[in-house]
Chain A
Amino acid sequence: SAVISQKPSRDICQRGTSLTIQCQVDSQVTMMFWYRQQPGQSLTLIATANQGSEATYESGFVIDKFPISRPNLTFSTLTVSNMSPEDSSIYLCSVVFGNSNQPQHFGDGTRLSIL
């Protein structure tokens, strides 16, 4: 099965700084997604990052705060900008292999703590 790698796996950052999270897939995919998950809670979709188009953000998330790049079919980055303690969370990328009715597959996430 395909491997989805996220870097870094965890980080502790100072408020006001920015962090870029990388997601690498070992096969080509069209659809990629970025989620946030608070401990003990379900997943909240931040944005959809399909190659060849601008990322689509969900309500409550804006590009200035969470800029996304999708330069090719195997890679994406999510930047968390001007971080505050409220941004402390787990950030996950997921991908869909095949057509639009297929399930998502996840990396192991990035645990982010803001001091």
Chain B
Amino acid sequence: QKEVEQDPGPLSVPEGAIVSLNCTYSNSAFQYFMWYRQYSRKGPELLMYTYSSGNKEDGRFTAQVDKSSKYISLFIRDSQPSDSATYLCAMIRGGSNYQLIWGAGTKLIIKP
């Protein structure tokens, strides 16, 4: 079993819809949670970085962390065709030894 599970999709939704992207994890040692967006032929771009359980909002994006369920989500409101990309979740274990674990990435397609 992988430490971080993420459905690779593709996920196809119409423009304007609310998108929900999710990751689950098995190790309660993960303390820091990130969402990255990666366009074709580009490096991953950091979208959201959170530490505690709860919600963090940035424009049309909301990151949600539920540590008790070991579940994180990224919501995109009013989705646009320009949001079409691969979204990767990533997690860092707490402590002095830096270790970042990646999800598989979900390919998102927003249809005009």
Contact = CB atoms under 8 A, between A and B. Distances in A.
Classify chain B's interface size.
20 to 34
Nearest to A10: B41
B98 A96 contact: yes
Interface size class of A (residues with CB under 8 A): 20 to 34
Given A108-B43, A111-B41, A101 B31 contact: yes
A89 to B, nearest CB: 13
Given A31-B98, A111-B41, A105 B46 contact: yes
Interface string A71-115: 000000000000000000000101010001111111111010000
B1 interface: no
Contacts, number: 49
Contacts of A42: 88, 102-105
Interface of A: 4, 31, 40-43, 48, 92, 94, 96, 100-109, 111
19 contacts: A4-B43, A31-B98, A40-B107, A42-B103, A48-B98, A92-B43, A100-B96, A101-B31, A101-B92, A102-B49, A103-B90, A103-B92, A103-B100, A104-B100, A105-B46, A106-B45, A108-B41, A108-B42, A111-B41
